[in-house]
Structure 1
Amino acid sequence: MHDFLIAPFAEFDFMRRALLGALMLSLTACPVGVFLMLRRMSLTGEAMSHAILPGAAAGFLIYGLKILPMTIGGLIAGAIVAVGAGAVARLTVQKEDASMAAFYLISLAVGVVLVSLRGSSVDLMHVLFGTVLALNDDALWLIMIVLAVTVLVLVILWRALVAECLDPLFLRSVSKLGGITHQAFLGLVVLNLVAGFQALGTLLSVGLMILPAAGARFWTTSVLPMVGLAVVIGAMSSVGGLLLSYHASLPSGPAIILSSGAIYAASVLLGPRGALMPLLTRRTHRTG
């Protein structure tokens, strides 16, 4: 048991770095994922994860695989797509979901073309799927800073975020925080996706944000316990995925997301609000 669970992290520095980065990502991305899910914006998070690709690719095209240029590029690209999609939705007849889909598809194509101009297929895979086993000090510091900013914003805007999940129109009618809260939250989404792509790539970073949150919802209806449970699921997925990657020689990022998907599937079936519990409850009532 020690050789299977402890030895990979005890013996190899890259495994400890990967674990630290993945755990910090769980702490910062999973709470944001809960609010994305409660606001019915999960697909918006997916779109935004593709939207940061052109900026990250532009940073890669100019400076190579360096953290700061790719991070700044990803933030700029994410902000442009968020603002552009919102402007199209406000100024035209097109709904926000359709404009977001259009923007993210264009962004994904532009990003892949930019990476292909200079890099190899290996570089493209690195940008798209990340390299959690190759996290350096700069990447860990970036994730730590994003974690601190996320916690600070959530503490300050917690009540407004919860209220907006329940009734956004009411919040905007009684408080000036409605618009500010929405923009701040979108900023958090972009920040966490940019931090996540260092480890999981632009395609999979949203997975650690959404899947633990979706799984947690089958176990509780209260927001704060849901956030805590999502973080626990994210941490379990990180540990399980890294161990699966090490022992089965699988890609580390997809292994983490697959672990999270397995916990989600178990939650769908076994959670108090899942598929099987209502059936078992009805059967118990009938036999009683």
Structure 2
Amino acid sequence: MYDFLIAPFVEFGFMQRALAGSLMLSLGACPVGVFLMLRRMSLTGDAMAHAILPGAAVGFYMFGLQILPMTIGGLIAGVVVALGAGVVSRFTIQKEDASMAAFYLVSLALGVLMVSIKGSSVDLMHVLFGTVLALNNEALTLIAMICGTTLLTLAIFWRAIIAECLDPLFLRSVSHLGTPVHFIFLSLVVLNLVGGFQALGTLLSVGLMILPAAAARFWTARVERMCALAILIGFASCIAGLLISYHQSLPSGPAIILSAGAVYFFSTIFGTRGVFNTRLRQHRHRTA
């Protein structure tokens, strides 16, 4: 048992860094994923994950596979896409989901094209799917800063974010924080996707944000408990994924996301608000 569960994290530095980075990502991204899900913006998170690609590609084009330039580029691209889609939806007849889809499709194609021109297929796979087992101290520092910023921002704007999530019209009617909180929240989404990009790539980073949150939704209806449970599911998925990757020689990023997916499917069936218990309550109600 020790050799299977603990030894890989004790004996190898790259496993320790991968564990630290993925746990910090879960700590910051999973609560953000809860609010994305409650706002029915889960697919928006996926779109934003693709939207950071051209900015990261610009950083890669100019400086190669260096963390800081790719991160800054991805952050700028994500903010530009989020603001651009927001402006289009607010000042035209097009809804936000359609404008976001248009922006992210263009961004994804542009980013893939730029990486393909500059680098090889290996570089493209690195950008799209990440390398959590190759995290260095610089990447861990960046992820830690993003995690700390996210938790601090959520603590400061907690009530406003919940109000804007559940009833944005009410918040705008009683406070001027409605629009600023919306863009603060979108900034947190972009920030955590950029952090996840270092470990999981643009195509998988949103998975660690959404899947634990979606799984937690089947166990509780309270936002605080949902966030805490999502973080715990994220922790468990990262540990399980890294162990599966190590022992079975599988890609670490997909292993983490598939572990979270397994918890999600289990929760849909056996969660207190899942299929089995819902049907059981309905049966008891009919026979009562």
Calculate the TM-score normalised by the size of structure 1. 0.98
- Corresponding residue for residue 134 of structure 1: 134
- Corresponding residue for residue 158 of structure 2: 158
Distance (Å, rounded) in 1 between the aligned partners of 2:28 and 2:260: 16
- Corresponding residue for residue 146 of structure 2: 146
How many residues align structurally?
288
Distance (Å, rounded) in 2 between the aligned partners of 1:79 and 1:281: 45
Distance (Å, rounded) in 2 between the aligned partners of 1:280 and 1:179: 42
One-letter amino acid matched to 2:173: S
**What percentage of residue pairs aligned between the two structures are identical?**
71
- Corresponding residue for residue 215 of structure 2: 215
Distance (Å, rounded) in 1 between the aligned partners of 2:245 and 2:140: 20
- Corresponding residue for residue 70 of structure 1: 70
Distance (Å, rounded) in 2 between the aligned partners of 1:96 and 1:152: 28
What secondary structure sits across from 2:218 in the alignment? coil
What's the offset of the Cα at 1:281?
Answer: 3.0
Distance (Å, rounded) in 2 between the aligned partners of 1:282 and 1:52: 45
> 4+ residue stretches of structure 1 with deviation over 6 A?
none
What's the offset of the Cα at 1:91?
Answer: 2.1
* RMSD of aligned Cα (Å): 1.1
What secondary structure sits across from 1:205 in the alignment? helix
One-letter amino acid matched to 2:101: A
- Corresponding residue for residue 120 of structure 2: 120
- Corresponding residue for residue 81 of structure 1: 81
One-letter amino acid matched to 2:88: V
Structure 2's unaligned 5+ residue stretches are: none
- Corresponding residue for residue 183 of structure 2: 183
- Corresponding residue for residue 243 of structure 2: 243
One-letter amino acid matched to 1:59: G
Calculate the TM-score normalised by the size of structure 2. 0.98
- Corresponding residue for residue 232 of structure 1: 232
Distance (Å, rounded) in 2 between the aligned partners of 1:279 and 1:186: 36
1:26 aligns with 2:26: yes
What's the offset of the Cα at 1:10?
Answer: 1.1
What's the offset of the Cα at 1:202?
Answer: 0.5
Write out per-residue CA displacement over residues 25-51 of structure 1, whole angstroms, 9 at most, x where no aligned residue: 000000000010111111110000000
One-letter amino acid matched to 2:160: A
Distance (Å, rounded) in 2 between the aligned partners of 1:282 and 1:93: 42
